[in-house]
Amino acid sequence: MWGVDQVLVVEPARATAGAGCAQRWVATAEAICARAGRLGAAGVAVRLLLPDPGGPAGGAPVLDAVEVFGNLLAEQCELLQARVRQGPRVLADRGRRAVLVADLSREERWPVFRATAAARYGLAGAHVEPLTFRGGPTMGSIAWYTDRAAGFGSRLAVTRRRDHAASVTVALLHGARRTR
């Protein structure tokens, strides 16, 4: 059974968000991470961007971010990308688009990330899907990591992960509408 090893609140929740709101987002991220881990990955990380409740609808600035690591591999990969400012999560966040690296050993875009993640953590592949609906604001992303490249980039595996990200996005949108 997949669990969640660590939760990192990237910025502490401000008083305007309220402790209850932040706790709900952390619980939501933990649940997403646990379910996403069942899709054939060695590690999963979920990042949710908490909108400013007082901000304008549709383009609200981010108040906080919650990041949940499903295990040590996911945590190491996420922290490495933040440190060296390169990797699939960094590219996905910049471009607000999905990034699939089925075989990291063939990847040339991120030499420092590739060499470090492969040698230190045994990373073989990654897939990052943004949580975005029809060009709207990004609500976060899910990153799957694998230590075995075989089958990770198969059409069926990628489709399952994309479908999961889409269903998470719809659930997040539905939950956001209920809280307003």
Q: What is the mean pLDDT of residues 17-43?
A: 68
> Residue 16: how many CB atoms within 10 A of its CB?
10
C-alpha–C-alpha distance, residues 82 and 114, integer Å: 14
Can you name the residues that pair with 141 across neighbouring β-strands?
47, 130
Kindly report the pTM of this predicted structure. 0.77
Q: What confidence score (pLDDT) does residue 151 get?
A: 77
Express each pLDDT in 108-139 by its tens digit: 999 999 999 999 999 999 999 998 877 777 88
In the numeric block, which tokens belong to residue 180?
């307003």
- The answer to whether residue 1 is domain-embedded is no
- The answer to whether residue 56 is domain-embedded is yes
Structural domain harbouring 163? 6-179
- The answer to whether residue 164 is domain-embedded is yes
Are 164 and 36 contacting, i.e. CB atoms less than 8 angstroms apart?
yes
Strands across the sheet containing 140-146? 6-9, 62-69, 43-51, 140-146, 125-130, 99-101
C-alpha–C-alpha distance, residues 119 and 96, integer Å: 28
Asked if the model's pLDDT at residue 36 lies above 80, the reply is: no
The 8-class DSSP code of residue 97 comes to S
Q: 151 in the Ramachandran plot: left (φ > 0), alpha (ψ -120 to 50) or beta?
A: left
C-alpha–C-alpha distance, residues 41 and 147, integer Å: 8
Domain count, the chain: 1
Query: CATH number for the domain including 122?
Result: 3.30.450.40
